[in-house]
């Protein structure tokens, strides 16, 4: 089955690629080394509808489908995974608001995200609970016409730059996944205390934080969807998120192929470019083949998610994330090998791609979790 992009999607790809080459790549190493969030580039990206492109046109967004968003993510990560992550994650949590939020939530917040004016974050993971969402301990207690939130969240993308958070909390502590609720939480409220995590292996230009919620008070109207339905609401977006991570992995894989091919044509040994040696040619051939296979599976996953078959979407999204992420680390590793000693230092981006690719095997569900999901669909 062939997954061809439409003329519009190819135009989007070309536009993002040009943006990446002209604006992102020249400053990528600087942002990685300084661990600097790319505020200016986010603003520029918003002008091209690259920030949260799935937000509906009624709220100032581009209203793109998942495959178009996947193409954007792939090309941003091809330019640089750290900056690409900062841009593509800018609207984390907005899908929850868009699908289950009240009209006032959408009208007040989504246009600001689409315009690049603010970032959002999604607060799910906790120090003791990553893959086990049902085990979260952050609590939300109803007091009068307010909810009071207490707990710790960690590994929160955009945690220190976000103006708005979607927080998952237990409203019925004894009910497991049946007692979780999603809340809309402005980050300037008293008791919302983020601390930056900056000792990361990779994607250093992207913001990451631990967040303490200490008696954070929000109005009862800030419940997103229905009380105790947050876990079920969240289930709607797992396949989307995993397909997006697969796109990230495809992007960094393609970047590694690009750099290895370029270097092989420039580096000479024995009086000829190393691209003339069969060992190098075979490495690059395998890198390119695995990248294309991951791309095809990722596009197929996007198609299944869009078509709305939940079982097929879950299976293919997990397959795409598993295959693309595992291969991306291998491809980036081979990219370093093509560079030889030059790939082990920061003079070339090969080492950065290796560091950046590694995260794709972990977040949005580890590779081990993806295998569980796939086998559950097959057995």
Tokens of 357: 């690719």
The answer to whether residue 2 sits within a structural domain is: no
The answer to whether residue 274 sits within a structural domain is: yes
| Residue-level pLDDT at 309 | 85
Would you list the DSSP string of 7-75?
HHHHHHHHHHHHHIIIIIHHHHHHHHHHT---HHHHHHHHHTT-SSTTS-GGGTS----HHHHHHHHHH
Are 101 and 126 members of one domain? no
Tokens of 205: 């230009």
Last-in-domain residue among 57, 84, 114: 114
Rg (CA), the chain: 21
**Residues 324/246, Cβ–Cβ less than 8 Å:** yes
Are 222 and 168 members of one domain? yes
The whole-angstrom separation of Cα 124 and Cα 126 is: 7
The whole-angstrom separation of Cα 123 and Cα 212 is: 11
The answer to whether residue 1 sits within a structural domain is: no
Structural domain including 12 reads 7-114
Are 280 and 166 members of one domain? no
Residue numbers annotated as active site: 364
- List the chain pLDDT tens, one digit each, 379 residues: 567 899 999 999 999 999 999 999 999 999 999 999 999 999 999 999 999 999 999 999 999 999 999 999 999 999 999 999 999 999 999 999 999 999 999 999 999 999 999 999 999 999 998 878 889 999 999 999 999 999 999 999 999 999 999 999 999 999 999 999 999 999 999 999 999 999 999 999 999 999 999 999 999 999 999 999 999 999 999 999 999 999 999 999 999 999 999 999 999 999 999 999 999 999 999 999 999 999 999 999 999 999 888 999 999 999 999 999 999 999 999 999 999 999 999 999 999 999 999 999 999 999 999 999 999 999 9
The answer to whether residue 206 sits within a structural domain is: yes
Are 367 and 260 members of one domain? yes
**Residues 105/280, Cβ–Cβ less than 8 Å:** no
Last-in-domain residue among 114, 139, 163: 114
The answer to whether residue 313 sits within a structural domain is: yes
| Residue-level pLDDT at 2 | 60
Are 221 and 266 members of one domain? no
Q: How many domains are contained in the chain?
A: 3
Are 58 and 107 members of one domain? yes
The whole-angstrom separation of Cα 273 and Cα 253 is: 23
Whichever domain contains 123, its CATH number is 2.40.110.10
Are 132 and 30 members of one domain? no
Q: Is 312 exposed, middle or buried (0-12, 13-18, 19+ CB in 10 A)?
A: middle
Are 23 and 104 members of one domain? yes
**Residues 169/218, Cβ–Cβ less than 8 Å:** no
Are 15 and 55 members of one domain? yes
| Residue-level pLDDT at 95 | 96
The answer to whether residue 349 sits within a structural domain is: yes
Whichever domain contains 337, its CATH number is 1.20.140.10
Would you list the DSSP string of 278-342?
HHHHHHHHHHHHHHHHHHHHHHHHHHHHHHT-HHHHHHHHHHHHHHHHHHHHHHHHHHHHHHGGG
* Residue given tokens 């999604």 in the structure block: 122
Cα 270 to the chain's mean position, in Å?
A: 43
The answer to whether residue 256 sits within a structural domain is: yes
Whichever domain contains 25, its CATH number is 1.10.540.10
Are 354 and 222 members of one domain? no
| Residue-level pLDDT at 271 | 96
Last-in-domain residue among 79, 114, 149: 114
| Residue-level pLDDT at 131 | 79
Strands 162-170 and 119-123: parallel
Q: What is the dihedral of CA 17, 22, 23, 28, to 10 degrees?
A: 90
Are 109 and 127 members of one domain? no
How much is the pTM?
A: 0.97
Are 108 and 127 members of one domain? no
């Amino acid at each position: 089955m062939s997954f061809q992009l439409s003329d519009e999607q190819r135009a989007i790809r070309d536009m993002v690629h040009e943006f990446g080459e002209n604006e992102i790549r020249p400053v990528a190493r600087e942002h990685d080394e300084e661990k600097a969030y790319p505020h200016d580039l986010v603003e520029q990206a918003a002008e091209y509808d690259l920030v949260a492109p799935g937000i509906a046109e009624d709220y100032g967004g581009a209203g793109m489908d998942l495959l178009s968003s996947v193409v954007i993510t792939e090309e941003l990560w091809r330019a640089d995974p750290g900056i690409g992550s900062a841009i593509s994650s800018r609207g984390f949590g907005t899908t929850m608001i868009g699908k289950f939020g009240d009209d006032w939530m959408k009208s007040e917040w989504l246009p600001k995200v689409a315009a690049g004016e603010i970032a959002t974050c999604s607060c799910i993971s906790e120090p003791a609970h990553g893959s086990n969402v049902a085990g979260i301990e952050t609590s939300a207690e109803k007091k009068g016409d307010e909810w009071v939130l207490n707990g710790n969240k960690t590994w929160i993308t955009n945690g220190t730059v976000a103006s708005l958070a979607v927080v998952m909390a237990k409203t019925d502590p004894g009910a497991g996944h049946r007692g979780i609720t999603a809340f809309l939480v402005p980050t300037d409220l008293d008791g919302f205390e983020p601390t930056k995590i900056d000792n990361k292996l990779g994607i250093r230009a992207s913001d990451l934080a631990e967040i303490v919620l200490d008696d954070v008070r929000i109005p009862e109207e800030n419940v997103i969807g229905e009380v105790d339905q947050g876990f079920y609401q969240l289930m709607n977006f797992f396949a989307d998120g995993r397909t997006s991570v697969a796109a990230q992995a495809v992007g960094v894989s393609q970047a590694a192929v690009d750099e290895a091919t370029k270097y092989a044509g420039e580096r000479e040994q024995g009086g000829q470019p190393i691209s003339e040696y069969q060992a190098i040619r075979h490495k690059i051939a395998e890198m390119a083949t695995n990248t294309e296979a991951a791309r095809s599976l990722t596009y197929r996953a996007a198609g299944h998610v869009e078509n709305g078959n939940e079982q097929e979407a879950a299976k293919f999204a997990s397959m795409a994330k598993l295959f693309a992420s595992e291969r991306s680390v291998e491809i980036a590793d081979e990219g370093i090998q093509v560079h030889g000693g030059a790939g082990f230092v920061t003079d070339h981006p090969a080492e950065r791609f290796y560091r950046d690719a590694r995260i794709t095997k972990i977040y949005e569900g580890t590779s081990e979790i993806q295998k569980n999901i796939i086998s559950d669909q097959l057995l």
